[in-house]
């Protein structure tokens, strides 16, 4: 007979780069100056695209758009830690991740402009179509990672889920399968504090989202999601572990959604301007700039050049998008099946005649 503690847990938190742009050199991940510049340039590019897409929505040039503003570090830092052959399972907000993952920006606009072809992955990478239902993609990431393990490929799956998504059964059961079968998956929760209007406290009574991994038998860790070095470091460790057969990791990126939930939302209905201003100070790009300036990796000229190049790239992609032809009316019938079954074929023929 006994009454005793049989299990205890601790949750690690990592921040490498402080809000003031100072960094703890001991914690700094291995990154060359070139890599740091590449990170910075990609983050600026994603932000520039985000601003542009937002204004295009306001001008009616695309439909509803979902901004990643403020989450560039957690998305792009993570993508820098995987390889082309790995599998990415994005959600609707993973636009910065997709841009870092070679998804052409005109494709992103094509999708939000109302053409499904925008979700098509570039050949050289494995980007899954973004998940529209919240949380369900967790299972696909775990399934693909499991398949990689069974086929003895050394590929890793990386999935993004919001903190709201962690309340879904699909997420929880995905975590469970990941643990039981020790699959090479890295599951990232971008805790941006809100699921539309619902604050983080209503998704879980637990102190962190990271600790959810403990119940499934594997490591959960919280990082400052606005610190691109911390995100990169933790995801890289997780990816290396997964690739070498050490199983899954769950990572909570503690961050903030600086924009409205979507272009159809007004966040001032449920959060104070002051709160947004406070988080603006912790914003990931400026923080990285401060660091780079102190390391002489960035000066005004380089900053201006980066901004200008990003703008040019985005404008070019907008041009490509706007020149895309209307999808063919019959496109919807294509790709439902490898071969159109009889019933569909009949409808297709009728549609082509009269539709």
Partner 1 sequence: MAKINIVEAVNSALAQEMEKDNDVIVMGEDVGVNGGVFRATDNLQKKFGPNRVIDTPLSEEGIVGTAIGMAAYGLKPVAEIQFSGFLFAAFDQLFSHAARIRWRSSNRYHVPLVVRTPGGGGVRAFELHCECPESYFAHMPGIKVVCPSTPYDTKGLLISAIRDPDPVIFLEPMRIYRAIKEEVPEKEYTIPLGKAKIAREGNDVTLVTYGAMAKYVLQAAEKIQDKVDAEVIDLRTIYPFDSEAIINSVKKTGRAVIVHEAPKTSGFGAEIIATINEKALLSLEAPIVRVTGYDTVLPMAKLENYHIPSEERIIKGISKVMSF
Ligand X SMILES: Cc1ncc(C[n+]2csc(CCOP(=O)(O)OP(=O)(O)O)c2C)c(N)n1
Give catalytic residues, as residue numbers: 257, 261, 270
| 3 state SS for 288-341 | HHHHHHHCCCCCHHHHHHHHHHHHHHHHHHHHHHHHCCCCCCCHHHCCCCCCCC
Joined tokens for residue 251? 């990572």
Residue 215 touches which member of partner 1, ligand X, none, C-beta under 5-8 Å by kind: none
- Interface with partner 1 includes 134 (CB under 8 A)? no
Residue 101 touches which member of partner 1, ligand X, none, C-beta under 5-8 Å by kind: none
- Interface with partner 1 includes 225 (CB under 8 A)? no
Mask of contacts with partner 1, 39-78, x by CB under 8 A? ----------------------------------------
The smaller minimum CB distance to partner 1, of residues 35 and 335, is found at: 335
The smaller minimum CB distance to partner 1, of residues 22 and 117, is found at: 117
Q: How many angstroms separate the CA atoms of 25 and 200, rounded?
A: 32
- Interface with partner 1 includes 336 (CB under 8 A)? yes
- Interface with partner 1 includes 213 (CB under 8 A)? no
Joined tokens for residue 195? 């699921």
**Interface positions, 126-155, toward ligand X (CB under 6 A):** 132-134
Are the beta carbons of 210 and 221 closer than 8 angstroms?
yes
Listed ranges 90-98, 115-123, 230-238, 315-323: which one lies at the site for partner 1 (CB under 8 A): 115-123
> How many alpha carbons lie under 13 Å from residue 281 in its C-beta half-sphere?
8
Closest listed residue to residue 110, CA positions, set 59, 53, 154, 159: 53
Are the beta carbons of 282 and 256 closer than 8 angstroms?
yes
- Interface with ligand X includes 74 (CB under 6 A)? no
- Alpha helix locations (H) across 32-123? 33-58, 72-79, 95-100, 105-112
Q: Cβ of residue 127: shortest distance to partner 1, in angstroms?
A: 9
Closest listed residue to residue 292, CA positions, set 26, 13, 31: 31
DSSP H or E segment with residue 220: strand 219-224
Q: How many angstroms separate the CA atoms of 105 and 274, rounded?
A: 32
Number of residues that bind partner 1 (CB under 8 A): 42
Q: What are phi and psi of 253, to 5 degrees?
A: -95, 110
Q: Which of 192, 208, 241, 306 binds ligand X (CB under 6 A)?
A: 192
Mask of contacts with ligand X, 159-188, x by CB under 6 A? ---xxxx-----------------------
The smaller minimum CB distance to partner 1, of residues 266 and 338, is found at: 338
Are the beta carbons of 166 and 212 closer than 8 angstroms?
yes
Q: Cβ of residue 56: shortest distance to partner 1, in angstroms?
A: 22
- Interface with ligand X includes 72 (CB under 6 A)? no
Closest listed residue to residue 130, CA positions, set 92, 76, 87: 92
Q: Cβ of residue 182: shortest distance to partner 1, in angstroms?
A: 12
Q: Cβ of residue 349: shortest distance to ligand X, in angstroms?
A: 35
Q: Which of 63, 114, 133, 245 binds partner 1 (CB under 8 A)?
A: 133
- Interface with partner 1 includes 245 (CB under 8 A)? no
> How many alpha carbons lie under 13 Å from residue 16 in its C-beta half-sphere?
21
Residue 189 CB coordination number (10 Å): 30
- Interface with partner 1 includes 129 (CB under 8 A)? yes
Mask of contacts with partner 1, 155-184, x by CB under 8 A? --x-----------xx--xx-xx--x----
Joined tokens for residue 183? 């699959």
- Interface with ligand X includes 241 (CB under 6 A)? no
The smaller minimum CB distance to partner 1, of residues 77 and 162, is found at: 162
Q: Which of 150, 196, 268, 352 binds partner 1 (CB under 8 A)?
A: 150
First to last CA, the chain: 76
Q: Which of 2, 5, 6, 132 binds partner 1 (CB under 8 A)?
A: 132
Number of residues assigned to the chain = 355
CA angle 65, 69, 70 (to 5 degrees): 155
Name the residues that contact partner 1, by CB under 8 A: 87, 116-117, 119-121, 128-129, 131-133, 136, 138-148, 150-151, 157, 169-170, 173-174, 176-177, 180, 334-338, 341-344
């Amino acid at each position: 007979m006994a009454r005793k503690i049989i299990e205890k847990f601790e949750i690690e938190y990592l921040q490498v780069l402080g809000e003031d742009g100072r960094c703890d050199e001991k914690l700094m991940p291995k990154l060359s100056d070139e890599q740091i510049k590449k990170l910075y340039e990609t983050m600026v590019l994603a932000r520039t695209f985000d601003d542009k897409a937002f204004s295009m929505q306001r001008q009616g040039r695309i439909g509803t758009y979902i901004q990643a503003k403020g989450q560039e570090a957690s998305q792009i830092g993570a993508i820098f830690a995987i390889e082309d052959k790995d599998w990415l399972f994005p959600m609707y907000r993973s636009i910065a991740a997709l841009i870092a993952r070679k998804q052409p920006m005109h494709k992103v606009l094509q999708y939000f402009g109302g053409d499904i072809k925008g979700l098509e992955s570039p050949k050289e990478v494995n980007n899954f179509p973004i998940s529209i239902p919240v949380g369900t993609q967790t299972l696909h990431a775990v399934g693909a990672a499991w398949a990689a393990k069974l086929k003895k490929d050394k590929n890793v799956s990386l999935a993004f889920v919001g903190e709201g998504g962690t309340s879904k059964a699909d997420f929880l059961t995905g975590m469970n399968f990941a643990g039981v079968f020790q699959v090479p998956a890295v599951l990232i929760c971008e805790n941006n504090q809100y699921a539309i209007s619902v604050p983080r406290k209503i998704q879980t009574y637990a102190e962190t989202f990271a600790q959810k991994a403990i119940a499934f038998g594997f490591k959960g860790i919280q990082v400052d999601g606005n610190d691109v070095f911390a995100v990169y470091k933790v995801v890289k460790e997780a990816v290396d572990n997964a690739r070498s057969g050490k199983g899954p990791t769950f990572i909570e990126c503690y961050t903030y959604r600086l924009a409205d939930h979507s272009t159809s939302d007004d966040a001032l209905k449920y959060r104070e301007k002051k709160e947004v201003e406070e988080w603006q100070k912790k914003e990931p790009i400026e923080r990285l700039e401060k660091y780079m300036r102190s390391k002489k990796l960035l000066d005004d000229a380089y900053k201006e050049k980066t901004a200008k190049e990003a703008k040019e790239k985005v404008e070019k992609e907008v041009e490509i998008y706007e020149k895309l032809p209307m999808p063919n009316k019959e496109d919807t019938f294509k790709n439902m099946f490898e071969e159109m079954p009889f019933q569909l074929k009949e409808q297709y023929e009728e549609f082509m005649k009269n539709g």
